[in-house]
Structures are given as C-alpha cells and as structure tokens.
C-alpha cells in the first residue's frame, strides 16, 4: 500500500494501480489477488475461509450490539468504534472452546472480555467520571441498572470546557445472536448542573426479559451539555460523551 502525494489526488483504477481514499489519506495499491472461485474451493485457502467466516460472524454480532444501544451511541462513539468492536468480537469468538475453527461463535466464546469496552476512545468513562457506583445485572429479578451515591460534580467529573450541565445514562440489552432479536432499555438522570452542590442518590434502572438465556449487557455513560438561554445543547455534538460496557452476563 502506498500513500499518494502531491496536489492532484486520484481515485479509481489506472492500468494495474487502484487509487482510493481512506481516513488516513489517499492511497494506491497494485491490482491483483486470487479469484473468488479459488478462494472458495482451493484447499490451500481453508484457513483463510475459516478466518473469513469467523470475521463475518464477529461483524454481525458487533452490529447487533450497536443496534441495541443505538439511541446512546448516536452521540457517544468515535469514528473507529465499529472496527474496534469487531476486533474485540473476533477475540471473543477465538476463545470458543467448543466448536472447530471456522464454526466458533460469539455465544460460546468469552463474552465477558467485552467488559470495559469504550465506545468513545477519545472520552473514556474512567477518566471522565470518578464517582463510585454499583452496577447490577440480575437474571433472577430481571433488572439491570446502576446506583450512584451522592457526589459533588465539580470534584467527580472531568468536564470539558464550555459544558455547564451533564446527564448520566444507563442502557441494558438482551441479545439473541442466533436469531438477531434483541430487547433493550435506557434510563437517564435529570440534566444536572456542573456545580459544587452534591447530587442526590441516583438510581438508573432498566428491566430485562423474564427467563432469558441470552447474553445481557449493561452500559453506563455521561453526556455533556451547554445551557444557552434556558435550552440545553449537546456539547460539540457529543464529542466528549463517554460510554462504556460496565457489566456482562453471558449465557447462564
């Protein structure tokens, strides 16, 4: 892969060279590769086919997880989040101890390794929100949520410049990766001022399906706002919002 330089940037194919644009700039590469039929049938590419099958499965699982939290991800995801999540899903699949290569699944893998995943790598929850909290993901009571004792916002939040208020958000989801069906809920705090006045006890609670045997996820985040004439505006379209997977319950 080569990087294009100069004033004129090319896109398309010229001879045996393909020119294209990525987030990292304009690139160029030589045409080539094997045919699709050879990839499907040649024994030499068996391992490649296995890897491709599992990568596709990881991408599909990541897409489903993102869809279940779409309402919160709208303003709390960095541009490379999709790729980072797919990469972690691949690792989950690779830790499946039951199925053979190429047939390993997310459900039979180590789902819990996704705990701590940051949807916005540029604003991590651990370096933005310092107040202690207790997270719950309980299949018996069908509840998921976060309890946060009173805290002083100016002491417990690393707020970006320009923000005047914040909101804590909590989401839960129950995902059937085999059928593609999921159930999700979101709970939010009030929009609170970034002041030195302690908050009250905050209880953010969601429900879960009864008797579920599917993987379940709990995420916690913080959104920042700027108040202008009594109206709250998302600060820089959510560029500083943090959102993290804080708890996971794999298949029981």
User: What is the domain-level CATH number for residue 132?
Assistant: 2.60.40
CA separation for the pair 143, 170 (Å, rounded): 12
Q: Which residues contact 47 (CB under 8 A, 6 or more apart)?
A: 101
Do 74 and 164 belong together in one domain?
Answer: no
pLDDT at 97 over 80: yes
Whether 80 and 19 share a structural domain: no
Same domain, 125 and 238: yes
Record the tokens describing residue 104, joined without a space: 């390993």
Q: Based on the domain organization, do 143 and 207 belong to the same domain?
A: yes
Q: For residues 217 and 99, state if they share a domain.
A: no
Single out the residue in 54, 89, 113 at which a domain terminates: 113
Lowest mean pLDDT among 1-5, 73-77, 142-146, 204-208: 1-5
* 148 lies in the same domain as 219: yes
Q: Is residue 124 located within the same domain as residue 194?
A: yes
Q: By CB neighbour count within 10 A (0-12 exposed, 13-18 middle, 19+ buried), where does 234 fall?
A: middle
The reported pLDDT for the residue numbered 171 is 97
Number of compact structural domains in the chain: 3
Average pLDDT, the chain: 89
CA 145 to chain centre: 18
Does one domain contain both 71 and 181?
no
Residues 233 and 134 in one domain: yes
User: What is the span of the domain harbouring residue 8?
Assistant: 1-32
Token readout for 236 is 């820089």
Q: Residue 169 is encoded by which pair of tokens?
A: 């958000």
- What pTM did the predictor assign? 0.83
Q: Retrieve residue 247's tokens.
A: 């708890």
pLDDT at 2 exceeding the cut of 80: no
| Domain stop point among 76, 98, 113 | 113
138 and 205 inside one domain: yes
Q: For residues 76 and 182, state if they share a domain.
A: no
Beta-ladder partners of 83 = none
145 and 237 co-located in one domain:
yes
Residue 109 buriedness (CB in 10 A; 0-12 / 13-18 / 19+)? buried
48 — pLDDT class (breaks 50, 70, 90): confident
Last residue of a domain, one of 113, 131, 148: 113
Per-residue HEC secondary structure of 86-129 comes to HHHHHHHHHCCCCCCCCCCCCCCCCHHHHCCCECCCCCCHHHCE
- By three-state DSSP, how is residue 40 classified? helix
């Amino acid at each position: 892969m080569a990087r294009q330089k100069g004033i004129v940037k090319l896109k398309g194919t010229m001879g045996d060279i393909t020119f294209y644009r990525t987030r990292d700039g304009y690139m160029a590469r030589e045409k080539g590769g094997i045919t699709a039929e050879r990839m499907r049938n040649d024994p030499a590419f068996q391992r490649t086919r296995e890897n491709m099958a599992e990568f596709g499965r990881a991408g599909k699982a990541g897409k489903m997880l993102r869809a279940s939290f779409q309402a919160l991800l709208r303003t709390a995801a960095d541009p490379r989040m999709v790729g980072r999540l797919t990469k972690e899903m691949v690792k989950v699949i690779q830790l499946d101890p039951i199925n053979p290569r190429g047939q390993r699944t997310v459900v039979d893998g180590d789902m819990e390794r996704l705990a701590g995943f940051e949807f916005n790598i540029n604003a991590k929850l651990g370096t933005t929100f310092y107040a202690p909290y207790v997270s719950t993901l309980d299949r018996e009571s069908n509840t998921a949520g976060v309890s946060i004792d009173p805290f002083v916002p100016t002491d417990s939040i690393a707020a970006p410049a320009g923000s005047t208020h914040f909101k804590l958000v909590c989401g839960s989801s129950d995902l059937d990766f085999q059928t593609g069906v999921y159930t999700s809920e979101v709970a939010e705090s009030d929009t609170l001022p970034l002041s030195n006045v302690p908050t009250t006890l905050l209880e953010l609670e969601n429900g879960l399906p009864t008797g579920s045997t599917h993987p379940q996820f709990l995420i916690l985040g913080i959104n920042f706002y700027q108040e202008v004439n009594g109206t709250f505006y998302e600060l820089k379209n959510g560029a500083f919002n943090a959102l993290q997977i804080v708890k996971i319950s794999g298949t029981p």
